[in-house]
């Protein structure tokens, strides 16, 4: 994703690639990635040259870097998923000091899909059962994916339910009849798949499917860059990607 973001910045008129940060053990530390931009491992040094940060890492790294960005007053865009409730709460707290966008997916199409899923759940009503399917590459660490949870939240919002009370992540053995209002998520991992998500609304004699399939990571990076440009100059706060894409 770092490489994709760097490429997207090069094609954006309003942004310039200023700094790059990696883990201390990365084999390419010290490499010049662009004129005057050397890959480093010190977050404070990277922030000194930054007007906004784009982060795709892991929860511990995101929180470490976001703390430093909040202290330095540098807006922060992150697509890191798999955060615990406590970690998510810390992101929200740090957003009181600096502008933050934290989204599970920056694809315009995926976020439009979330809007469609919410509307479909609302309009279809009680006669349709909701199920989700997602598949990602074999190196993905968290399951279900952040995008699958985002879409499940959209279903729950449209149905007027709390996702935590209705989410079903596995079925095995004699599970009995499907619980009323259940929102099931099935997860697959394999190969180099950037991500596929399908939401099924299954009724009596008919089924509606809303699906998004990625073949590259380019659109994730373009969306994150678009959000970064939008975030510069904003007051502290936790902003939604819906504000950037006009989906509020």
Residue-wise pLDDT tens digits, 137-169 = 999 989 999 999 999 999 999 999 999 999 999
Q: Does residue 26 carry a catalytic annotation? A: no
Structural domain that includes position 131 = 108-213
Residues 170 and 237 in one domain: no
Note whether 100 and 239 are within 8 A (CB): yes
Residues 187 and 146 in one domain: yes
pLDDT (mean) for 26-30: 94
Question: What is the pTM for the complete model shown?
Answer: 0.84
The tokens describing 141, both together, are: 């660490």
Residue 40's domain is classified under what CATH number? 3.40.50.720
Q: Does residue 93 carry a catalytic annotation? A: no
What is the spatial distance between Cα 216 and Cα 246, in angstroms, rounded to a whole number? 24
Note whether 143 and 132 are within 8 A (CB): no
Closest CA to 24 of 66, 51, 64: 64
Rg over CA atoms, the chain: 19
Residues 27 and 148 in one domain: no
Out of 12, 64, 102, 136, the active site residue is 136
Residues 184 and 208 in one domain: yes
pLDDT (mean) for 29-50: 94
Residues 54 and 139 in one domain: no
Number of domains into which the chain is organized: 2
Residues 174 and 238 in one domain: no
Out of 102, 137, 138, 140, the active site residue is 140
**Residue 135: pLDDT over 90:** yes
């Amino acid at each position: 994703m770092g490489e994709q973001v760097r490429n997207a910045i090069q094609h954006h008129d309003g942004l310039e690639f200023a700094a790059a940060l990696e883990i201390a053990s990365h084999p390419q530390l010290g490499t010049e990635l662009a004129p005057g931009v050397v890959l480093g491992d010190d977050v404070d040094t990277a922030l000194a040259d930054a007007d906004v940060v784009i982060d795709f890492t892991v929860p511990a790294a995101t929180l470490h870097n976001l703390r430093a960005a909040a202290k330095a007053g540098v807006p922060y865009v992150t697509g890191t998923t798999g955060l615990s409730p406590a970690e998510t709460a810390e992101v929200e707290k740090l957003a009181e000091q600096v502008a933050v966008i934290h989204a599970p997916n920056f694809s315009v199409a995926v976020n439009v899909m979330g809007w469609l899923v919410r509307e479909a759940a609302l309009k279809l009503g009680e006669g349709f059962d909701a199920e989700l399917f997602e598949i990602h590459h074999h190196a993905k660490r968290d399951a279900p994916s952040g995008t699958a949870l985002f879409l499940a939240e959209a279903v729950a919002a449209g149905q007027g339910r709390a996702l935590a009370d209705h989410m079903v992540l596995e079925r095995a053995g004699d599970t009995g009849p499907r619980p009323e209002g259940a929102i099931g998520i099935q997860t697959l991992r394999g190969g180099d798949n950037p991500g596929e998500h399908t939401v099924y609304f299954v009724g009596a004699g008919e089924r509606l499917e809303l699906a998004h399939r990625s073949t590259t990571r380019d659109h994730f990076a373009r969306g994150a860059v678009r959000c970064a440009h939008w975030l510069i100059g904003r007051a502290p706060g936790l902003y939604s990607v819906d504000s950037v894409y006009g989906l509020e």
